[in-house]
Amino acid sequence: MIRPLPLLLFTLFVSSVGIVAQNNEEIRVVEAIGEASGHGERATQQAIQSALRRAVEQTAGVLIYSQSEAVDYEIARDRILTESGGFVKEYKLLDTSRKGGATVCRVRATVLLGRFQLEWGRIRMLIERKGRPRISVDFFQRHGSHKLKAGQRVESDATDIVRTSFEKRFLKHRFHLVDRSRSKELRDLDVRAATLQNDLSSLVAAGRRMGAEVMIVGTIASTSSENVPIPGTRLHAQRTRVTFTARAIRVDTATVIASTNHTETLAAANWSEALTQALQKGGSGFGNRFLREILESWIFDLQNGSQTELHLEGIDFEDVLLLETSLNKIEGIRSVHLHNFDQGRIQIDIVGTLSTIELGRRLLKLESLSLKVNRLTQNRIELSRRR
């Protein structure tokens, strides 16, 4: 039977790329292989999950290379790969085999292509809304049971490994880093002491003087080190455990937007090598995870409304009440909360979908109050009355 040419061409297209439309939902059917150490049911399930992640990654890759803004797309890809199960509609286990001490699984997965495109759209909207703030990154040693130095390396070398790993991750996604050559304030204000003492006010003061919009500060500590036997030999390796902590601080509002910790354990021929590998691997993996934590915070803001602080001075309380009424009428503002009024000064917290630029523009249009914007940052607007 000879098919009409347009139908034949369509069939060849679907067969070559594996993309079909099912109930108006664009999908891609791919085969992928995953591997996990060990044998048994647990190893099989881990290998299947590894294969599904690869299937999602293959699908993401097809779209990434077709986009001009691949950097933004990779942010979405990194986030999606951590939640790959949500992008697989169904799968079939084709075969399972053993390879040395590992289990290998091959699957055929139906990946929801449209859902990935939707996620990328959300990320793009997020980046447009939040922009790429100027970021400073600093890590310091918190002394555990073992001092962080290997051979002749001192603390600064160990912390530099982690800081550089974080900076590379943020630079890869085109975030702007504070010029460290201008950061004499780090020494003047002793950011190290402020970080170790969790002194938020001192950190925020340092961030403002450096011109940072977001500060990432953290600690690293080697919490244990021990000799462990190498299986099948009479040799021993040195195993070390390194603990990382990090916080992301929004400088203009002095609020913590992300906070987490991570532990990395590695064994190598000697302690120096084990420590270096743990710092490199932990810094890279922790950097990826922490960037996702920040994005999750921003996505929550995007979905539920982000908070902007209004700081007003030279205003009567009657005008504060008038302003509150006017703000509640502005489309895009979800809630308005007044803080303590003190001698013509007040802070008003606004939750909504408007950027600070747009909110400032709307405030200037309130002719009855005649407001003047004195300072505007990502999450804060300082105003006064025109006289």
Q: Write phi, then psi, for 354 (nearest 5 degrees).
A: -85, 140
Least confident range of 86-100, 183-197, 273-287: 183-197
Which pLDDT does position 354 carry in this prediction?
Answer: 85
Q: What is the mean pLDDT of residues 307-330?
A: 91
SS3 270: coil
Question: Which is more confidently placed, 63 or 263?
Answer: 263
Q: Which range in 25-34, 129-138, 270-279, 315-324 is most confidently predicted, on average pLDDT?
A: 315-324
Which pLDDT does position 320 carry in this prediction?
Answer: 92
pLDDT score of 279 more than 50: yes
The fourth-level CATH superfamily of domain 10-125 is Acetamidase/Formamidase-like domains (3.10.28.20)
Rounded Cα distance, 322 and 309, in Å: 18
Look-up: residue for tokens 């200037």? 364
The length of the chain is 387
Average pLDDT, the chain: 77
- State pLDDT tens for residues 136-180: 898 888 765 445 444 334 345 778 888 888 888 888 777 888 876
Which pLDDT does position 293 carry in this prediction?
Answer: 82
Q: What is the mean pLDDT of residues 16-43?
A: 74
**What does DSSP assign to residue 149?**
-
The residues, ordered by sequence, that sit 6+ positions from 98 with a Cβ below 8 Å of its Cβ are: 39, 104
CA 136, 152, 194, 190 dihedral sign is: negative
Quote the tokens at residue 216.
Answer: 């990432």
Instruction: Sheet containing 25-37: give its strands across.
Output: 19-22, 25-37, 102-112, 88-99
Q: Write phi, then psi, for 366 (nearest 5 degrees).
A: -80, 85
Rounded Cα distance, 270 and 285, in Å: 22
Which pLDDT does position 140 carry in this prediction?
Answer: 86
- CATH number attached to the domain at 132-303: 3.40.50.10610
% of the chain residues with pLDDT over 90: 21
Q: Where are the domains of the chain?
A: 10-125, 132-303, 306-385
pLDDT score of 62 more than 70: no
pTM here is 0.63
Please say whether the beta carbons of 173 and 291 come within 8 A: yes
- CATH number attached to the domain at 306-385: 3.30.70.60
Which pLDDT does position 150 carry in this prediction?
Answer: 42
Q: With cut-offs at 50, 70 and 90, classify the pLDDT of residue 56.
A: confident
Rounded Cα distance, 108 and 33, in Å: 9
Which pLDDT does position 83 carry in this prediction?
Answer: 61
